[in-house]
Chain A
Amino acid sequence: MNSETGIQTKKRKRKNKVIETSVIIALFIILAVILPVVIPAFRLRLVGRFLSLAIVALGIDLIWGYTGLLSLGHGIFFALGGYALAMHLNLQIPEGKIPEFFTLYGVEKLPWIWQPFYSFPVTILALIIIPGIVAGLIGYLVFRNRIKGVYFSILTQAALLVFYNFFNGQQELINGTNGLKTDTEKIFGVLASSPNAQRGFYVTTVILLGLVYLLCRWLTSGRFGRLLMAIRDDETRVRFSGYNPTGYKVLVFGISGAIAGIAGALYTVQTGIINPSIMQVAFSIEMVIWVAVGGRGTLIGAILGTMLVRLAQTSLSESFPEIWLFFQGALFLTVVTVLPDGIVGWFKDYGSPKLRSLIRRDQPLVTYPSLVEDPEVQQERDEIGGRR
């Protein structure tokens, strides 16, 4: 059983890689090429939103599933990305004018924060880098003092509330509670809510989901990934082995924040509006449950979990709005107590062996392989068994 040689292992790994790549390509073709043709536009917009949420889930999986940092404040980075793109869209107006809502608050000159967002490349950079830096900063201030576990979670949640209050209060700057509309604005001269633009956003979402997946895959498979898992499993030991976990934690939290920023931008243009309510406490915790349902520590689980939970939410809250909260609460409870490794983890540990033994591709698991292979033992077993 354990006599697999190095070459065999390599072969098996290569075979797995081929399977994985082909599955990804197939999924990509289905999502990016076939789906836009098959389903109606407003459903496509919904799927696009789900997929952009799956991108955040990947980011959360990176820090929670692999590094063991539970962030309850990813709404901040999500919103920062969304606001960056929305600001760019709101600036697609004739020279010398400022967005309409400014006149409501008596603002006549464009605030300096808005200036860089005239340019598209700068906006794209900003919506990745700003959330990344903010996340890195929060992470640095917290991890530097070896604050971890529940303390970290609460602090991120408090940070979320602070950003929520800040964005709500700044009416002269970003229209406060009302938020920024993107549906009525133009991108590259095309109305953002037009079918063509929406299809463009959708395909971009699919492509970016693939890219982010590959990035996370690359990050978690090598030395870096092993270090992240070591931090998750025993941080003190990592420190005693001569590593400084702080830098790694800050880096991975920053990356996760940047990923959330990308997702937020994509979500915003496919929703049509961004306002501070995206930074509500509940939404950020919901992001965690998507990962938990799918299976933390597995990237595919994060995507799967997001799609499943969001689908359940749309179908349930359309017909029975009052049941949805009960259902969501029960989901939190059951996933945590009964299914700690999520759907993918359950399938790996229990479902897949069961399925294999059903279609008889595997030998049944044996506790002492050497006894099974030993002919003398087999003969004795037959004789004793035969006598009975």
Chain B
Amino acid sequence: MSTLLEGLFNGISIGSVLLIAALGLAIIFGLMGVINLAHGELIMLGAYSTFVVQNIFKLFGDPWFDFYIIVAIPVAFVVSAAVGIILERGAIRFLYGRPLETLLATWGVSLILQQFVRSVSWLLVISLGIFCLLFFGGMQLVKSRTDWQRVKTKAIALLLPLGAAIAIAFYFLLSKNSALSTPWFSSRNVDVTAPAWLRGGTDALGFQIPYARLFIIGLTLLCLLGVYWFLQRSTWGLKIRSVTQNRTMSSCLGIPTAKVDALTFALGSGLAGIAGCAVSLLGSVGPNTGQNYIIDTFMVVVVGGVGNLLGAILAAMGIGILSYLIGSGTLALVLTNLKAPQSLLDFFFFFASSSMAKVMVFALIIIFLQIKPAGLFPQKGRTAEL
């Protein structure tokens, strides 16, 4: 019994990490039909911002250090949300209605973000600032002209290479200066130390329950409640839900769909940042951290269906619990105790490792999709895609 309970708890804790990571993705996918392959990198950015906040709090000394996580969560949210808005305004809004192209574009962004984290230094940031100043400042100047629509392409064709050339030249001129060009994080993994009150665990139910896991489950619950409240009780939530249901009609009724898109993207990305904060408590953080979570979170969205939080919750918990029970061998152990036939036991022991569990879970997902192709809670009505 105790083994099963332990398995259940661990499964729920894996599921809650999945859920917190998938929540933002599900909202964005429900609203815009866009799969954001850079979602994993937004999680990674959240984890890195936690690392930075932790380092700043280290300077303050001991009593303060224990509470860095409370500051880190909003910081991670804001950082990821800001990157998300830039991503939406800079690329995704031009690709509206072309989901496959959006997929590729966001993959490009995820590659850039991975490499950015590896090689970010003061010099790179300053060069980027110079480029933005030249390009966007120049565009603002051109915009003040009355015939700016006519010269727009020419202005871009002139300013873009010019700005890029000056910024790159600046970068290479100063790249000898080691104080400026040392990377902040480099490509090695960094470690986030959990505050003292999150280390260790309790033996309440007859097995070890780490506090960090409990904290993540609590955080997930909090996020869920927050999102639920925002979507169901606030004005903007109402607008988001209406655009999710019928974009054209909402637009006709005066809902600013572009603003709703940007807001939703910011919200979803911010949730990814919080997920990154949670992930950083579980292990070391590297540029590839996001990649480990991304496909599992996609599966949550596929199984859960769009436009319903309950679907995402059930899917995340289901996938989390199943993959833990199969992967850790708990299921095989329980079956041994039940004296199940040998062939069944061999079958489950074959899948009793975390990588083989993924194989099994995927097969189960495919079987599930044969029965319910659009997920647990498909969208209904005439506008729903056949």
Please report A residues at the B interface, Cβ cutoff 8 Å: 64, 68, 70, 141-142, 144-147, 149-151, 153-155, 157-159, 161-162, 165-166, 168-169, 236, 281-282, 285, 288-289, 292, 322, 325-326, 328-333, 335-337, 340
Contacts and interface: CB of A to CB of B under 8 A. Distances in A.
A332 B106 CA distance: 8
A331 B370 CA distance: 37
Given A153-B35, A158-B362, A168-B355, A326 B112 contact: yes
Contact of A141 (B101, B291, B370): B370
B99 to A, nearest CB: 5
B105 A336 contact: yes
A156 B59 CA distance: 47
B159 to A, nearest CB: 15
A340 B302 contact: no
B358 A161 contact: yes
B100 A333 contact: no
Nearest to B294: A281
4 tightest CB-CB pairs across the interface, nearest first? A332-B108, A145-B373, A329-B112, A329-B111
Given A169-B355, A329-B109, A153 B100 contact: yes
B359 interface: yes
B43 to A, nearest CB: 15
Contact of A285 (B101, B107, B295): B107
B100 A149 contact: yes
B108 A150 contact: no
A42 B299 CA distance: 43
B71 interface: no
A279 B365 CA distance: 21
B386 A146 contact: yes
A236 B385 CA distance: 10
A150 to B, nearest CB: 5
B114 interface: yes
B359 A325 contact: no
A162 B361 CA distance: 9
B362 A159 contact: yes
Contacts of B111: 282, 325-326, 328-329, 332
Interface in B109-157: 109-112, 114-116, 118-119
B356 interface: yes
Contact of B359 (A146, A162, A329): A162
Contact of B105 (A146, A151, A332): A332
Interface string B348-380: 000001011011001001100110010000000
B51 interface: no
Contact of B104 (A145, A292, A326, A330): A292
Contacts of A289: 104
A64 B100 CA distance: 10
A330 B302 contact: no
A150 B28 CA distance: 13
Nearest to A289: B104
